[in-house]
């Protein structure tokens, strides 16, 4: 029987994804039809981006699963018309991209690179030697697919890495914490904080005046997670007071970040336009094909979202 797969994302993504999806589905030996225009009652699987036109899943009566192209699911997880299993994206390319971005920005702050990049003015600035990585405390909030992978590489580089998650983890090279007491311990004295938590009611404003005050004075914040993780007013206040030395922010409550937002003008904020890590069509298509294969062969789907936890 032919499996009908609806590609429901922005139309311009289809031309990029189509060859990769076909290659990956062919490699799995599946008999399928895939496209952007399939009658809802005929659809077996939806390859999905939350910004697509499909917002009502009720007409997809025989759909077996919705396969999200994004790692974050906050824009779909509370959709009450979605009764089908929802899988999120965990893919090697996405993970590698996040490792690259996080390690790059961590090293920027660790080495104080800006001092020299912006200081090409004829002054010989000697005598400021950064500490070794082993003497730099990095805290990663969120030890899932991305946080754990970034922590592993930062630990390999020699950083003193702590991490925090909902459930207690045991990861080589990372001092792991969980729970409210664990959050305080993870943040206390941290010099670089990386946010890789999902956007849920429990994680909103996790970095606020109280938690920012726990950090080492002049700490750097790196947020490739989601905008609502940070209380923006508290962060701006901490930046102005020097409690936070710099914030590198990739994600925001409103995107694109409005051009009059104070983050743009702040000398100690770096704004990047939600580019920390994009889903990579080739590797993501392999995950999608694997999940459809699993669905067709009665196997458990990979990376299912816990609808109650919200991620």
218: left (phi over 0), alpha (psi -120 to 50) or beta: left
Quick one: which of 47, 71, 102, 212 contacts ligand NAP (CB under 6 A)? 71
Q: Is 166 in the site for ligand NAP (CB under 6 A)?
A: yes
Residues 66, 70, 72, 74, CA torsion sign: negative
Q: Is 177 in the site for ligand NAP (CB under 6 A)?
A: no
Q: Is 140 in the site for ligand NAP (CB under 6 A)?
A: no
Q: Which is nearer to ligand NAP, 197 or 235 (CB)?
A: 197
Q: Which is nearer to ligand NAP, 34 or 193 (CB)?
A: 193
Nearest to 217 by CA among 185, 240, 242: 242
Residues in contact with 190: Cβ distance below 8 Å, sequence separation at least 6, in sequence order: 137, 138, 139, 162, 214, 215, 216, 219
Residues in contact with 211: Cβ distance below 8 Å, sequence separation at least 6, in sequence order: 183, 184, 187
Quick one: which of 38, 65, 143, 230 contacts ligand NAP (CB under 6 A)? 143
Q: Is 145 in the site for ligand NAP (CB under 6 A)?
A: yes
Q: Which is nearer to ligand NAP, 84 or 178 (CB)?
A: 178
Q: Which is nearer to ligand NAP, 147 or 295 (CB)?
A: 147
- # residues near ligand NAP by CB under 6 A: 29
Q: Is 277 in the site for ligand NAP (CB under 6 A)?
A: yes
Q: Is 182 in the site for ligand NAP (CB under 6 A)?
A: no
Q: Is 144 in the site for ligand NAP (CB under 6 A)?
A: yes
Q: Is 284 in the site for ligand NAP (CB under 6 A)?
A: no
Q: Which is nearer to ligand NAP, 30 or 301 (CB)?
A: 301
Output the six-digit token pair for 202: 């429990």
Q: Quick check: bond before 256 cis, omega within 30?
A: yes
CB of 225 to ligand NAP, least distance (A): 5
Known catalytic residues? Answer: 226, 274
Q: Which is nearer to ligand NAP, 125 or 167 (CB)?
A: 167
Quick one: which of 4, 52, 137, 203 contacts ligand NAP (CB under 6 A)? 203
Quick one: which of 3, 65, 69, 146 contacts ligand NAP (CB under 6 A)? 146
Long-range contacts of 48-54 (CB under 8 A, 24+ apart): 48/8, 48/9, 48/76, 49/8, 49/9, 49/10, 49/13, 50/75, 50/76, 51/9, 51/10, 51/75, 52/8, 52/9, 52/10, 53/8, 54/6, 54/8
Number of neighbours of residue 235 by Cβ within 10 angstroms: 24
Mapping DSSP to helix (H, G, I), strand (E, B) and coil, where does residue 89 land?
coil
Stretch that binds ligand NAP, among 52-60, 121-129, 195-203, 207-215 (CB under 6 A): 195-203
Number of neighbours of residue 273 by Cβ within 10 angstroms: 11
Q: Is 155 in the site for ligand NAP (CB under 6 A)?
A: no
**Residue matched to tokens 């994680």:** 203
**Residue matched to tokens 């990769």:** 20
Q: Is 111 in the site for ligand NAP (CB under 6 A)?
A: no
The total number of residues shown for the chain amounts to 311
Subset of 215-274 contacting ligand NAP (CB under 6 A): 224-226, 250-251, 274
Residues in touch with ligand NAP (CB under 6 A)? 71-72, 90, 94, 142-147, 165-167, 196-200, 202-203, 224-226, 250-251, 274, 276-277, 311
């Amino acid at each position: 029987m032919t499996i009908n797969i609806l590609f429901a994302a922005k139309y311009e993504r289809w031309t990029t994804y189509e060859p990769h999806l076909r290659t990956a589905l062919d490699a799995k030996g599946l008999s399928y039809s895939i496209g952007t225009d399939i009658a809802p009652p005929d659809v077996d699987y939806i390859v999905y981006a939350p910004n697509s036109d499909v917002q009502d899943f009720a007409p997809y009566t025989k759909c077996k699963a919705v396969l999200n192209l994004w790692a974050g699911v906050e824009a779909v997880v509370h959709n009450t018309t979605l009764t089908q299993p929802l899988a999120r994206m965990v893919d090697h390319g996405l993970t590698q991209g996040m490792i690259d971005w996080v390690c790059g920005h961590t090293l920027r702050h660790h080495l104080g690179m800006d001092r020299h990049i912006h200081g090409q003015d004829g002054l010989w600035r000697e005598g400021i030697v950064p500490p070794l990585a082993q003497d730099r405390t990095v805290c990663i909030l969120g030890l899932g697919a991305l946080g754990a992978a970034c922590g592993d590489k930062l630990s390999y580089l020699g950083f003193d890495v702590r991490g925090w998650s909902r459930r207690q983890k045991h990861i080589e090279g990372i001092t792991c914490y969980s729970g409210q007491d664990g959050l305080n311990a993870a943040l206390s004295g941290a010099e670089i904080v990386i946010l890789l938590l999902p956007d849920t009611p429990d994680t909103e404003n996790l970095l606020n005046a109280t938690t920012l005050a726990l950090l080492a004075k002049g700490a750097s914040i790196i947020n490739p997670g989601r905008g609502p993780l940070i209380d923006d007013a508290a962060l701006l206040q901490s930046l102005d007071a020097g409690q936070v030395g710099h914030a590198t922010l990739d994600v925001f409550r409103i995107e694109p970040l409005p051009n009059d937002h104070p983050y743009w003008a702040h000398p100690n904020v770096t704004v990047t336009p939600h580019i920390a890590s994009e889903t990579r069509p080739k590797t993501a298509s392999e995950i999608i094909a694997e999940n459809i294969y699993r669905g067709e062969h009665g196997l458990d789907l990979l990376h299912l979202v816990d609808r109650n936890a919200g991620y």
